[in-house]
Amino acid sequence: MPFDVTNRFARITGSEKRASAWLSSLASLVVLLVNARQASAGSPTSIFDPAATPAHSIFSLSMLVLSVTLIIFLVVAGLLLYALIRFRERSTDSGRDPAQVYGSNQIELSWTVVPILIVVMLFLSTTRVIWETEAKPKPDNALDVTVIGHQFWWEYRYPKQGVVTANELHIPISDPHSPTPTYLEMSSADVTHSFWIPRLAGKTDLIPNRVNTMWLDPSEAGLYLGQCAQYCGTQHAKMLLRVYAQTPQDFAAWVKHQQQPSRADLSDQPQADEGRKVFLHNACINCHTVTGTVATGRFGPDLTHLASRDTIASGAIPNTPKQLRAWIANPDEFKPGSLMPAMHLNNHDLDAVVAYLTTLH
Ligand code: HEC
Ligand SMILES: [Cu+2]
């Protein structure tokens, strides 16, 4: 039901009622904030649940800023409420103007100096956090990953490991006593994107012809979710981020697996073998890479280890043979405006290509 403004104000007449309306709106604001905090603390993208050093620094800073501004709000709203109630119109009022007060040096000085001090304090604490996160020197054992934003997916390259993947970033967890952070060098192939994993760090924009850097050091293994945070086109909302933080052993095993070329011999799986031919004789190879084959396109995600990923289309769809088939038949069904064209394969070829893609572990 829409909020009935006229009715609500008609009921409130005297200034006492007005004051109580004030109080109740204040109370509902507090309830709303507490609820929002509780609701978002359970969400996988909550800024109130930091899990890495940059996110912890940002969280403490926001809490400081929030408490300072909350105190200011309470003082100002309290004084306002006090004045509203204490000096409300009464039937015994004479109707004359009250005595006018001009030029109190003390009051004017205090409301100039105190805000300046508060602003300087907030400025210094913000600078400290920026310094802590941006200017931190890279340790020698840091992992390097190049991140390239595309409309509407993420490319990840591990130059030292020779690994290329898409949409699902794997990183090792970092022990606070001997940190092994991951340093991301980020750029864009087209328009501006923004990399944001709220539980791990702040946002960093990916800008064409420019390299921005950021680092992550989650100490607990798990899946951290995020989302492109800069409008980059129609499918911006389905440009999701998935970061898999793994124990050093699991991460090493993942790297080793990703370094393998795709399987050359598919003679035991005739359908997949045929699917490979279909794949290699279609335009797929202009846009996709499968190492060890003639497919070396870089316009779309690297498919060499497609089957090892949980999702396709930048986290938008679970990676099952059924969904894969529907995606190749018509990507627009899931992401209207996505830059992969519908390939118009017949059913036979579609099934074969899907059989081939599911062998790409
Ligand atoms: C014009 C370039 C182009 C062609 C041709 C093309 N694709 Fe794509 N493909 C893309 C792009 C771009 C994406 C990423 C779409 C997105 O997530 O927004 C993609 C995504 C995919 C994905 C999901 C990968 C992932 O990890 O998310 C699969 C699988 C795929 N393509 C298979 C194929 C197959 C099979 C063919 C040939 C029948 C083909 N593509 C032809 C550009 C192309
Ligand atoms: Cu984007």
List domains and CATH numbers for the chain. Answer: 5-87+102-134 (1.10.287), 144-257 (2.60.40.420), 270-357 (2.60.40.420)
Could you give the residue ranges of the DSSP H alpha helices within the chain?
5-11, 15-41, 53-86, 105-134, 248-259, 270-280, 284-287, 321-329, 347-357
CA of 229 from ligand 1 middle (Å) equals 23
Nearest atom (ligand 1) to Cα of 317: 27
The atom number, within ligand 1, closest to the CA of 152 reads: 18
pLDDT grade for 16, boundaries at 50, 70 and 90: low
- Residue whose C-alpha is closest to residue 334's, from 322, 347, 350: 322
* pLDDT for 265: 86
* Pocket flag, ligand 1, residue 288 (CB < 6 Å): yes
Ligand nearest to C-alpha 287: 1
Hey, what are 88's tokens? 């409300």
Q: 289: Cβ below 6 Å to ligand 1? A: no
Higher pLDDT residue, 186 or 32?
Answer: 186
pTM (two decimals)? 0.84
What is the sign, positive or negative, of the torsion defined by CA atoms of 47, 51, 55, 57?
positive
Instruction: Note the pLDDT of residue 5.
Output: 43
- Alpha-carbon torsion, ordered 329, 332, 335, 340, to 10 deg: 70
Q: Check pocket membership of 314 for ligand 1, CB cut-off 6 A.
A: yes
User: For residue 111, what are the contacts with CB-CB under 8 A and spacing of at least 6?
Assistant: none
Distance 280 CA to ligand 2 centre (A): 29
Helices 53-86 and 15-41: crossing angle in degrees, nearest 10, is 170
| Banded pLDDT at 136 (limits 50, 70, 90) | confident
Give 288 Cα–ligand 1 centroid separation in angstroms: 7
Residue 357 CB burial class (10 angstroms; 0-12, 13-18, ≥19):
buried
Give the pairing type, strands 182-188 and 143-150: parallel
Position 22 scores a pLDDT of 63
Distances (CA, A) of 274 to 24, 89, 119: 70, 88, 68
Residue 285 DSSP SS3: helix
Q: Which of 12-16, 196-200, 296-300, 334-338 has the lowest mean pLDDT?
A: 12-16
Q: Would you say residue 229 has pLDDT above 70? A: yes
Give the chain's mean pLDDT: 90
Please choose from 287, 298, 339 the residue to mutate so as to test ligand 1's pocket, defined by most ligand atoms within 8 A of CB: 287
pLDDT at 106 over 60: yes
CA distance 228 to 195: 5
Beta bridge partners of 61: none
Confidence of residue 72 (pLDDT cuts 50, 70, 90): very high
Atom of ligand 1 nearest to the CA of 153: 17
Whole-angstrom Cα distance, residue 307 to residue 137? 37
